[in-house]
Amino acid sequence: MTYFYAQLFAMDTEIRAMFPAAMDVQRRRFFEALGRIAGAQQSQADRDHLVVSRGKRTLTVLNRFPYNNGHLLVAPLAHKANLEDLDEEELLEGMQVLQEMTRRIRETMSAEGFNIGVNLGKIAGAGLPGHLHWHLVPRWSGDTNFMPVLSNVNVIPQSLDALYELLAKTKI
């Protein structure tokens, strides 16, 4: 798994669409590949790929191209396309991780609210059709600005490195 593919995964739908279809398999298998990294390599790989939390069945990463500061992606390690494909343990752990990360972001970043969602299928906006993942997007009063409307640019007030340090401190 190269750093390039990790960046591809986190890009928004418009940017990903510019890459050739031949890369689809590598991108769809991103979570599975990160899930196999273990031992001494795991710590550095997690840092390189912005993995803030690992569970037995899930992985949580910072979105490299976030809609807002603190935008996380929570995904099952297994390659599954639909909610009904998840077994009970995967679904439960996914919800527990969302609950814990919501608490952690509220406490460390003073988030006032959250958008949590899943895009299932290409037509619904899924950037990785075939591998579901939840988006956790922290919100604050007044956080919407004119930049995304005018030029598809998001203003993020914190670097991904600083955010990683903040959220990866406490493991679930």
Tokens for 37? Answer: 């990294």
List pLDDT tens digits, range 67-86. 888 999 999 988 888 999 99
Strands 113-118 and 51-54: unpaired
**What pLDDT does 86 receive?**
96
Q: What are phi and psi of 132, to 5 degrees?
A: -70, 150
Q: What is the pLDDT of residues 85-99, one digit of tens each?
A: 999 999 999 999 999
Beta bridge partners of 53: 60
CATH number of 3-168: 3.30.428.10
Q: Does pLDDT of 157 surpass 50?
A: yes
Contacts of 103 (CB under 8 A, 6+ apart): none
Annotated catalytic residues are 133
pLDDT, position 100: 96
Which of these, 109, 42, 41, 28, lies nearest to 75 by C-alpha position? 28
Tokens standing for residue 81? 């396309």
| Residue spans per domain, the chain | 3-168
Residue 131: what pLDDT? 82
Would you state the pLDDT for residue 3? 39
Q: What is the pLDDT of residue 32?
A: 60
